[in-house]
Amino acid sequence: MEASESFLAPWTGFFYWVGVAGVAYWTVLLLRYLRYIVRVWVTGNPGAVGPHLGAWAVVTGATDGIGKAYTEELAKRGLKVVLISRSQEKLDQVASDIREKFKVETKTIVADFQDRETIYSKIKAGLEGLEIGILVNNVGVSYSYPENFLDVPELDKLIDNMININCISVCKMTQLVLPGMLKRSKGVIVNVSSIAAVSPTPFLAVYSATKAFVNYFSHCLNVEYKRKGIIVQSLVPHLVVTNMSKLRKASRFRPMPGWFVKYAINTVGLESETAGYPYHELWVWLIHMLPRWVVDESATRLAVKSKYNLLKKQKAN
Residue positions annotated with a catalytic role: 207
Q: How far apart are CA 183 and CA 2, in angstroms?
A: 79
Q: In angstroms, what CA-CA distances link 95 with 72, 98, 111, 122, 257? A: 10, 5, 15, 19, 17
Residues in CB range of 267: below 8 A, 6 or more apart? 40, 44, 45, 233, 274, 276
Q: How far apart are CA 101 and CA 71, in angstroms?
A: 12
Residue 175 CB burial class (10 angstroms; 0-12, 13-18, ≥19): exposed
Contact 228, 179 (CB under 8 A): no
Contact 259, 73 (CB under 8 A): no
- Beta partners for residue 135, in sequence order: 58, 189
Residues in CB range of 259: below 8 A, 6 or more apart? 250, 277
Sequence length of the chain is 317
Q: Where are the alpha helices (DSSP H) in the chain?
A: 2-8, 12-36, 65-76, 88-102, 119-127, 155-162, 169-184, 205-225, 257-264, 278-289, 292-316
Q: How far apart are CA 294 and CA 290, in angstroms?
A: 7
